[in-house]
Amino acid sequence: MEDLKEYSNGDVTIVWQPKLCIHSGVCARGLPNVFKPKEKPWIDQFGAPSDALMKQIGACPSGALSFYTNNTKGSTTHG
């Protein structure tokens, strides 16, 4: 099974699948306070409101980023 990284802010959990990531930079340009490729961990799930996180994740061209709301785990929402 592929490695997944999860980052939760309590409301929403961001799921990152590194092997799918094409490093397009769409996430970092859209929410630079959340997606910081030069830092570790590179995702700061508290850097923006949950609705902004979900919208930006929806713009991920590779599908490497997805999310689920913490009250509906198992129903992963992709962009």
Q: How far apart are CA 75 and CA 71, in angstroms?
A: 10
**In terms of CATH architecture, what is 5-78?**
2-Layer Sandwich (3.30)
Phi-psi region of 29 (alpha: psi -120 to 50; beta: other; left: phi over 0): alpha
Amino acid sitting at position 66: S
Q: pLDDT tens for residues 32-64?
A: 999 999 999 999 999 999 999 999 999 999 999
Q: Which of 14, 18, 27 is nearest to 69 (CA)?
A: 14
Q: How far apart are CA 77 and CA 38, in angstroms?
A: 26
pTM as predicted: 0.85
Structural domain boundaries in the chain: 5-78
Q: What tokens does 12 get?
A: 């929403």
- Average confidence score pLDDT of the chain: 90
